[in-house]
Amino acid sequence: MPLVTTKEMLTRAQAGHYAVGAFNVENLEMVMAVVQAAEESRAPVILQTTPSTVKYAGLDYYLAMVQTAAARASVPVAMHLDHGDSFDLAMQALRTGYTSIMIDGSHHSFQENINLTRRVVDACAPSNIPVEAELGKVGGKEDDLEGGDGNPFTDPQQAAEFVQETQVDSLAVAIGTAHGLYKGVPKLDFERLSAIRQLVTIPLVLHGASGVPDEAVQESIRRGICKVNFATELRIAFSNGVKQYLAEDPDVFDPKKYSKVGRANVVALVKEKIALCGSANQA
């Protein structure tokens, strides 16, 4: 089926008290794996690319792969720009055909974040493309995403003001998760999440979920998270499959052979995450 936006996906997830898995993809095999897992799980799914991934091949390359995978699928598939770092990149993704846009102004001042986000929302509105924003800073480092240490968590009152001023469609909140690999067990501020949920009616997003204990992800969903992002674990799963094959057959020269193992690893992992989010059989 054709690509869809994340608007209806997340609205349904919010009403149904589950979350939609959003998976960062880096190559053809990962695109195929994520959509296969969604198809087998009968789940809506979001595929997404970060600015550094886009630099590697281009918005059009990734969109074409995801469009092809979606056309062969019978479950809803959306294509999302993750952590768009500028108005220009957000507009490039919009013009290219992405069906969901994130603008990340969390490293700016509160007012600058509002101004930037509102510009993107206004630009995307005529095309009915939903916009995600971030308030507070998710820590850690992955690709070009540098959250740093000791960054502020999302303030509930500011979140309510931010949503009112920007009219954004979904909001990524900082409650203790981080990008990349965790040095220890993350401790999430669930009370803060509940406070945000009481003041903000739009779908909430959890970034940096790779490595977060399952029970913490589930509790976040119970308290209002409607979209959960996974990136690092998918990369590890794919790479481990390739490494395993090459260790067993170091003379192999056909990339399809070892890539197939990496792809299978990603399929298995994504199915686990879909089940964790509660979105299986929600397509």
Could you give the residue numbers annotated as active site? 82
Measured from the Cβ of residue 246, the count of other Cβ atoms closer than 10 Å reads 14
Cβ contact 93:59 at 8 Å: yes
**Contact criterion met (CB below 8 Å) for 163 and 202:** yes
For residues 116 and 208, what is the distance between their CA atoms, to the nearest angstrom? 23
In the beta sheet, which residues pair with residue 121?
A: none
Q: Distance between CA atoms of 175 and 104, rounded to whole angstroms?
A: 16
Q: Where are the alpha helices (DSSP H) in the chain?
A: 6-16, 28-41, 51-57, 59-71, 87-96, 110-124, 156-166, 190-199, 214-222, 232-248, 255-277
Residues 6+ apart with CB under 8 A from 107: 137
CA 134, distance to chain mean position in Å, is 12
Q: What are the DSSP calls for 54-109, one per residue?
A: HHHH-HHHHHHHHHHHHHT-SS-EEEEEEEE-SHHHHHHHHHHT-SEEEE--TTS-
Three-state DSSP class for 133? strand
